[in-house]
Structure 1
Amino acid sequence: MQRKWIGDGGLQIRMFITIFLLGAVYVFFLAALWSLGAGAMTMLVFAGALMAAQYFFSDKMILWSMGAKEVTPEQAPDLHAMVERLAAMADMPKPRVAMVEHSMANAFATGRDPKHAVVAVTTGLIHQLNRDELEAVLAHELSHVKNRDVMVITLASFFSTLAFMIMRFGMYMGLFGGFGGRGRDSSGNAIILVYFVAVLVWIISFLLIRALSRYREYSADRGAAVLTGSPSHLSSALLKISGRMQRIPKDDLRQVEGANAFFIMPAVSKSSLMELISTHPSLENRLKRLADFEQQMERA
């Protein structure tokens, strides 16, 4: 039985505004690069190639970095059955299933579209959650896949990645002729201008992309609540995952911190700076929204 998505108008408006602002920043950045010559456009093409590689191979990269291994229905029958049922309810292809041998309770989804998606869970998650909670977490990850969040964030990050590259390699490029052949003085001025424009674009786009990522998490939480019919199951799972996370040594969390953007709950401690610029909303805000949505579902 398929479930009908219930949209959040306010959330959709905030996501639209964020994407619009990102677009405005990137149009400004592209215009600046275009005006400063062919060298900058060469960097643009190079960054485009990197983005394409990230887009097409992100599933393999994240699985490799996490040490995730794909499992067959024979190896994990219950897990596959849950994923298959949820995928049918969401009217989407069943993604591949992978497991990570780690005591941390967490899960993630990756892949450029539903046909190339992978949903992965840690062994810690399977051991620490009950069936309803595990199903809610899987529904959250499937919602990311259905919403094509990997594609959205990858595309949104393109010019931010380019700006970061220029920040890192701007001086190196200047040693080899700068961003165009307009003479040494103009070339030097262009390099300085591009560098400061890149810094500005990177800071603004970084904050906007983090905000967009948090909005996508809210959307996936809502999708999970619709698929399972019970927001409280996801709330319970988030509380358990967060509580267990605080007991894991910081060194162990740092080993997987690079995959935070993919996790259902970021692997950071409360003292981490990442809380201020996080890819995920705070636990309190997520629980409040789920509780509000449960009341909305009861009234419907």
Structure 2
Amino acid sequence: MAGSRFIPDRGLTARMVATMSLLGIVYVAFIIALVLVGMPLWLVALIVIGFAALQYFASDRVAMFAMGAREVAPHEAPELHGVIDRLCSMADMSKPRVAIADSDVPNAFATGHSRSSAVVCVTTGLLRRLDTTELEGVVAHELSHVAHRDVMVMTIAGFLGIVAGFLTQVGLRFALFSGGARNREGVPLVMVAFAVVVVSALVWAVSFLLTRMLSRYRELSADRAAAYLTQQPSALGSALTKITGEMARIPSRDLRSAEPFNAFFFTPAFSRSGVSLSSLFATHPPVEKRLEQLAGISRQLGTGT
């Protein structure tokens, strides 16, 4: 792709364009449907514009705050900055901001609505468990998300689901307390509320499925790009194996607090009660599939497995 030496992925580009186009259609239909079922146009515009601005401009700060992450200077995390400096030089890309989250859950994520606002964050649990080559593989994976711009696409794509989910909850609560009130056209407000709930729930489901399909592919693409950039796919595979193995030792309360960010994590964090559900609506492809791809790249590069 333009602006970096990460291998291009036309399949990812095509999927991002298709996803954004379909979500755009759903987005317009959603607004029209809300107005048709009786929701005031001014209220629809206020909610849509408000959430859009928050999601686009504050997504990085919201994610950082929720994960308890803070931006760190080179003197605070010299090894991590050194790794990112080397990889950015290899990839010929601008260096993103660097952050560390104080969490024992071993993971990493990238966030930000553009390359200039991008942040690559790793947890203290990850830093404690990985050696330098494994850390390079994970960070290269996250940098490839930034270079491919799929962090921005996922941020925008997630906006529709957030609005739909919000309106579903508000509609249900409003329906319970609206009593016998009616709007100016004489339609019972409880009917309007339930109509909003139905429309929002359908839009949320469509948004959820589209973003999950894109999310699974983007993880394979990031693994592939990182492996070719570092020329050490086995190190990335080792990190993936180590991280997923360590998840079983993390307290469930810590995993549950991290689960909302699974779509952006290097590998998902699931509490024991969520494993079966994750297989149905996974944000990431199976670990076995990721390791198989990395093993194939190792054979191509002649670096072994």
Same fold (TM over 0.5): yes
1:239 aligns with 2:244: no
Contact 2:141 2:226 (8 Å CA) reproduced: yes
For 1:295 and 1:52, locate their aligned partners in 2 and report how far apart those are by CA, in whole Å.
46
Q: Give deviations 1:188-222, integer Å, cap 9, x for gaps.
A: 65544333222211112112212222222222212
- Aligned residues: CA RMSD: 2.9
In 2, the alpha carbon distance for the partners of 1:7 and 1:107 equals: 22
1:128 is displaced (CA, Å) by 1.4
**Take 1:208 and 1:45, find their aligned partners in 2: how far apart are those partners?**
25
How does 1:38-187 map onto structure 2 within 5 Å?
A: 39-170=40-171, 175=178, 181=184, 183-185=185-187
Q: 2:195 aligns with which of 193, 196, 200?
A: 193
Which deviates more, 37-46 or 94-103?
37-46
Q: Which amino acid aligns with 1:276?
A: L
Give the Cα separation in 2 of the matches to 1:41 and 1:289. Answer: 50
**Match of residue 289 from structure 2:** 285
The SS at the match of 1:244 is helix
**d(CA) in 1 for partners of 2:234, 2:180:** 60
Report the CA distance between 1:91 and its aligned residue.
2.5
Judged with a 3 Å threshold, the aligned counterparts in structure 2 of structure 1 residues 34 and 255 are, in CA distance, closer, same or farther, namely closer
1:3 to partner: Cα distance: 6.6
Query: What is the CA–CA distance in structure 2 between the aligned matches of 1:210 and 1:116, rounded to whole Å?
Result: 24
Q: Per-residue CA shift, 1:63-111, capped at 9, x if unaligned? A: 2222223222122222111101211222221112222233322111222
8 Å CA contact 1:163, 1:199 repeated in 2: yes
User: Does the aligned pair in 1 maintain the 2:140–2:230 contact within 8 Å?
Assistant: yes
Decide which of 205, 208, 222 is 1:203's aligned counterpart.
205
**5+ unaligned residues in a row in structure 1: which ranges?**
none
TM-score using structure 1 length: 0.85
Task: Specify every segment of 5 or more residues in structure 2 that has no aligned partner in the other structure, as ranges.
Answer: none
Compared with structure 1, are the counterparts of its residues 46 and 128 closer, same or farther at alpha carbon in structure 2 (3 Å cutoff)? same
Q: 1:297 to 1:185 in 2, by over 3 A?
A: same
Worse overlay, 104-113 or 134-143: 104-113
Normalising by the residue count of structure 2, what TM-score does the alignment of the two structures yield? Answer: 0.84
**Residue in 2 aligned with 1:257?**
259
| Structure 1 residue 248 displacement after superposition | 1.4
